[in-house]
Chain A
Amino acid sequence: MSDLLNRKPETGAFFPRDRDWHPPAYTPGYKTSVLRSPQKALLSLDGTRSEITGPVFGHSILGELDNDLIHNFAKPGESAIGERIIVHGRVLDERGQPVPGALLEFWQANAGGRYRHKKESYLAALDPNFGGCGRTITDENGYYAFRTIKPGPYPWPNGVNDWRPAHIHFSIFGHGFSQRLITQMYFEGDPMIWKCPIVMTIPDRRAIEQLVAALDWSATIPMDARAYKFDIILRGRRSTLFENRMEGN
């Protein structure tokens, strides 16, 4: 909790989610969604205390290499094979306010598009020095950064010839359970983005572009690693200045 500095605790309800900006549940181009999408309307709630609160994680959970996927699974003195990159950015809310103390977890395939998972059978080889998971917590300005190798594209059984673009999965905890978000980051210039049925579940092209990280030449470290910048926006919350029923906030 000390990660949240001396901010006054925020107790306002979150802005309603714009569900036309997010993918709908039923997206037949992504076949698995057909039997896994609710058919009835959602029941909308204006956040109660159960939704405006949420878990916050301290730095005590973090190990030294948790934000270094090049080394956190590698044997001593060795490192993962692939394009060395830094992914960095800020976590902000819809009001543009930084979200400090946000836990970010990420996972990805290796440079050849192979995941380290027992249910995975793609013929591309595993990298003995790459696990594919990492985590970090945003600083007081909402900044985060981690090192990894750029994941390869990955074929999957949807259509006969569907391939995922290179992507990194992100899971984000803000300060309230309503802000909980899982998404995916894509890479600038990847032609696979616009062919992908999972990307295309998002109806608005501008929303898709929000998930495409930009090559960041300024943050690239010469002779070491290129950088990609990926900002994440979580839901904003109302001010409680004029809430007149304080006992319920």
Chain B
Amino acid sequence: MVQSLDYLKESPSQTAGPYVHIGLTPNFADIQGVYPSDLGTAMVNDRTRGERITITGRVIDGSGTPLRDALIEIWQADCDGLYNSPSETRGSADPNFTCWGRCPCDLSTGEYRFDTVKPGRVPFRDGRLMAPHISFFVVARGINLGLNTRLYFPDEEAANAEDPILSRIEHRVRVPTLIARKDGATYHFDIHLQGDKETVFFDI
């Protein structure tokens, strides 16, 4: 016998269910008066630095049907590539930018939308720069453990070409599933849960 390692096990995940809005966006669920506003609805204010962009899209199931009960959270760097987090040791992120947002998909169309800024580049573990990206966390009824993916930008071709994460994707035909479509200041990013167009999901 040897000594016990004594690690604990992570609490197992369960689905967020169809009524996730009650807890995470109660004002959206018409539960008024408990919180002044829903957390994560405003990422920017008048003084936020950087290029204003909108991210929008839908989450689509294996039959091609948009989910109308999904909830999405995003986490991204500020315009200088700094995170607003205690674990960010390279400097202080823009105090007028949350880096984090939360949005329930529309109950009829399934669309989500974030008004944010385009993130700067962030170093990979070995110091190489990653391309600008936004991290996604997707939960819904039917999803047992939140799905992680990344949005990359179509107007960052050179950076995308040297991105250490995109370079790791063996099936090159799947790389475009992580790249948004640009339309003015709006980036469209649909997330396909299953099938031929299935988005690349990460074990982070």
Q: Is the CB of A50 within 8 A of B133?
A: yes
Known: A133-B23, A175-B87. A92 touches B8 (CB 8 A): yes
| Interface hub of B14, B16, B137, B142 (most chain A Cβ within 10 A) | B14
Q: Which residues of B contact A65 (CB under 8 A)?
A: 34
Range, interface on chain B: 35 or more
Minimum distance in angstroms from A36 CB to a CB of chain B: 4
Number of residues on chain A facing chain B (CB within 8 A)? 99
User: Hey, which chain A residues are within 8 Å of B107, CB to CB?
Assistant: 118-119
A198, B14: Cβ atoms closer than 8 Å: yes
Asked whether, in the complex, the Cβ of A43 is within 8 Å of the Cβ of B9, the reply is: no
Q: Are B87 and A54 in contact (CB under 8 A)?
A: yes
B12 touches A45 (CB 8 A): no
Select from chain A the residue with minimum beta-carbon distance to B130.
A48
Hey, which chain A residues are within 8 Å of B88, CB to CB?
Answer: 9, 49, 53
**In contact, B8 and A43 (Cβ under 8 angstroms):** no
Find out whether the CB atom of B144 lies under 8 angstroms from the CB atom of A54: no
Give the tally of cross-chain contacts (CB within 8 A): 287
Per-residue contact bits, chain A 29-52, to B (CB 8 Å; 1 contact, 0 not): 010111111111011111111111
With a cutoff of 8 Å between Cβ atoms, the chain A residues found around residue B145 in the complex are 19, 22-23, 25
Residues of A near any B CB (own CB < 8 A): 1, 4, 7, 9-11, 13, 15-19, 21-25, 27, 30, 32-40, 42-57, 61, 63, 65-66, 72-73, 92-96, 105-108, 115-120, 131-135, 169, 171, 175-178, 180-184, 198-199, 201-202, 206-208, 210-211, 232-236, 245, 247-249
Please report B residues at the A interface, Cβ cutoff 8 Å. 6-24, 26, 29-31, 33-36, 39, 61-63, 65, 67, 69, 73, 75, 77, 83-89, 98-100, 107, 122-128, 130, 133, 135, 137, 139-147, 150, 165, 168-169, 174, 193-195, 198-204
Report 13 cross-chain contacts, Cβ distance below 8 Å, ordered by A residue.
A42-B202, A43-B168, A45-B204, A50-B75, A66-B35, A95-B7, A105-B23, A116-B29, A134-B23, A175-B87, A207-B12, A245-B127, A248-B123
